[in-house]
Structure 1
Amino acid sequence: MSPIGKTRPTGRDRLRDSVLAGDLSFLLARANALTLAAANAALAEHGLKARSYSVLALAADDVRPTQRELAEFLRLDPSQVVALVDGLEKRQLVERRTDPADRRANVLVATDAGRALFARAQESARAVELGLLAAVTPEDHERLAQLLRLLAFPE
């Protein structure tokens, strides 16, 4: 026994009780790492990763984003977006089309094959999300989503 009469937690429990485990930035980063790993594993069967899935999702949603908008929204360097779009375009999942509002810009649009793949991949992504949030009530799930939206989109 320790001098104060309690046994000291060991291993992972000892770290879980550390000061860092109460730090919101750490908790967000750890949750992000865990969810990304699980999502990437589930999306692999579709030939996607979380980033390429995100680009495909926005293209399939008919919001017709430009690559610049994608970079800003996904918080990626524009060169990363170019590589992601190039990979999806090579697989004939998305197309770059001239933006009718600005002929100097291109917008991203999902092909029929891209929409079909997105629908299947979205099912896998949702299953992972539900598995990760199994210990959370539906009400807490919705509240967590609301809080994360406030953090992700502060304006």
Structure 2
Amino acid sequence: MSDAPWMRGLHADTGYLLYRLGLRSGSLFNARLGQYGLRLRHYAVLRYLSIVEGARQRELSDQLGYDPSAIVSLVDDLQRLGLAERRPDPADRRNRIVVLTAAGQQLLPQSEQDGARVTDDLLAPLDAEERRTLHTLLLRIAEPAEPAAAGD
């Protein structure tokens, strides 16, 4: 870390450090996933689709926290790459669901390994216990508790 006074001030700000870590993490993930024509946001969609039996685009938006218009573009990209496709929803044929293709299912393990390598590189300064603690703390703040109802 720099010893410049302004940098020490920024590094005292946890929010700024989280922002910088997010930028660094995203950049490393994007560089690693670029070999597949993917970015971190595509990877998140693929990972989500790997654990569900298809999802409406609105569900992807809600679950991943992405703007609905971004989801349309991400799914278009994945479809163009042959990794996902839109199919009629068996529960309501007026709707479409997004599912992984065989190519998407085949790519997922390799992209997960690449993601794990990026995470290992980012967390190299931490020992195993510190990594578990960091993960636990990030889980706690990533999904804040529901706000208390009025009057509680």
Offset of 1:114 from its aligned partner?
Answer: 0.4
CA contact (8 A) 1:58 1:64 kept: no
- 1:53-110 per-residue CA deviation (whole Å, 9 max, x = no partner) reads 1111111223533211211222221111100001101221112233344444332211
Structure 2 counterpart of 1:83: 73
SS in structure 2 at match of 1:108: strand
- 1:96-142 per-residue CA deviation (whole Å, 9 max, x = no partner) reads 23334444433221111001112111111110110111111112112
CA contact (8 A) 1:99 1:107 kept: yes
Bigger Rg, which one: 1
SS in structure 2 at match of 1:97: strand
CA contact (8 A) 1:15 1:21 kept: no
SS in structure 1 at match of 2:95: strand
Q: Does 1:49 align with 2:39?
A: yes
Distance 1:19 1:51 in 2: 31
Structure 1 counterpart of 2:150: none
Which residue identity does 1:48 align to in structure 2? L
Structure 2 counterpart of 1:8: none
SS in structure 2 at match of 1:154: coil
The normalised TM-score by structure 2 is 0.85
Gaps of 5+ in 1: 1-10
Distance 1:15 1:38 in 2: 28
Structure 2 counterpart of 1:18: 8
The one of 110, 113, 118 aligned to 2:103: 113
> Do the aligned partners of residues 111 and 136 (structure 1) sit closer, same or farther apart at CA in structure 2, a change above 3 Å counting?
same
The normalised TM-score by structure 1 is 0.83
Gaps of 5+ in 2: 146-152
CA contact (8 A) 1:97 1:108 kept: yes
Q: How many residues align?
A: 145
Please give the residue correspondences for 1:1-155 in structure 2 after superposition, counting only pairs within 5 Å. 12-14=2-4, 18-62=8-52, 64-155=54-145
CA contact (8 A) 2:2 2:8 kept: no
Distance 1:88 1:18 in 2: 42
